[in-house]
Each structure stands twice: as structure tokens, then as C-alpha cells.
Amino acid sequence: MKIAILGATGWIGSHIVNEAKQRGHEVVALVRDPSKVELADIDVRKVDLMSDDNQLTNAAAGVDAVIASIGGRALGNHDIVKATAQRLITTLPQINVERLLWVGGAGSLEVAPGIELVSTADFPQDYKAEAIAQGEALAVFKQQASILDWTYVSPAAEIFPGEALSSYRIGTEQLLVDDNGASKISVSDYAKAMIDELESHKHPRQRIGVAY
């Protein structure tokens, strides 16, 4: 499968690139700074999401799916998350790209009926703006009528550096926790879950959560 990965040089995005390549997929890296792409045998295309030109349209043309790993922390602009969701849900159908997988956040997962993780007292303040932005992106997908086949993949509350450790579980709108009340997944297992969903196509037009 030919996959465009938006944000391919980021921490999560680079792990998804590696996982996709290991499974034999053809990867197109959509990045703001092509000089940061260190892997060989990757088609690198420049896309500046702050630009209003046709970079995204041209760069994503001809792929089977897009995986978007977008955050506003590096640029100090969390508005870019919702704006990118809106842009993709409009643009991709116009260029005949039918599938989008989105690297989401855990903050909008429910810890109790109607109570999101981001609204709890213990949620880290440093990550709150980022979590709210990801929740806004999820709302874009859920509320807008579009023919785009999207899947929003939320990690556990803690996504940590490391190799694949064990099998993971898949949930829906509720935060997954283990027997000790912890919600964790390694970045490598998150990347594995993302490509598993790409290949299995089990959760069209819905949000899923993945955790141990």
C-alpha cells in the first residue's frame, strides 16, 4: 500500500514510518523540512501546513491512505491541529484519497460517563492545550459529513519511548487501564496498532483507543 505520512519526522510519526516500511508498504513522507528525513528509500515531499498553496493537494495525490501525526507544540500553535483536520477532510476526497488515519490524543477519552480525561484534576497542565486541540480535531471528524473514511487512534494516557512490549487492547470512547489502574503503551506498540488498523480496516469512521 502507498501511504503518505504527514509529520513523518516527529517522534510518533517517525515510528509509524519505520513500522510501515518494515511491513513492506511504500512510504511518502510529507514534512515541513525535508532535510530532517534520515531514512533512505522514502519519497519525501515538502508540505507546510501554514501555507495556503496547493502543496498538500500535490503531495498527497496518488496515495492509498494518509496517516496524520500533527501537533502544535513545536510551532507554539495548537490551532493548526483542528485546522489540519478540517483541511484533510475536505482536500483528500477531492484528490481521490479515500482513507485517513489520525494520530489522536488521550485527553478526550472518558474516565467515567460524560467525564473526559482532560477535565480531571490530575491532568498535566503542560499538556492541556494540546489535549483540547486534539479533542477539537476529533469533533471535526465526527460532526462533518464527508465521504472520507477516517479513523482516529487515541493512545493510552501515557505513551512512552521504547520497543514493542506486548499485545495491546483496543477500546472505543473509554480510557483503557490495566489491573493496576495505569493506562500505558510504548510508542512502538502504538505505531504497530496504527499500521494494524491501516491493514485490517476494522474501525471506519470512528475513534479507537489502544493501550496495554
Round to whole Å and give the CA distance between 118 and 131. 7
Mean pLDDT of the chain: 94
Q: Which helix (H) or strand (E) holds 141?
A: helix 128-143
Which residue shows C-alpha cell 502543496?
55
Residues 99-145: tens digit of each pLDDT: 999 999 999 999 999 999 999 999 999 999 999 999 999 999 999 88
The whole-number pLDDT of residue 77 equals 82
Domain ranges of the chain: 2-211
pTM, full prediction: 0.95
Q: Per-residue confidence at 20, pLDDT binned at 50, 70, 90? A: very high
pLDDT digit string (tens) for 68-92? 999 877 666 889 999 999 999 999 9
Q: Which CATH architecture has domain 2-211?
A: 3-Layer(aba) Sandwich (3.40)
* C-alpha cell recorded at residue 50: 501554514
Query: What distance in Å separates the CA atoms of residue 177 and residue 175, rounded to the nearest whole number?
Result: 6
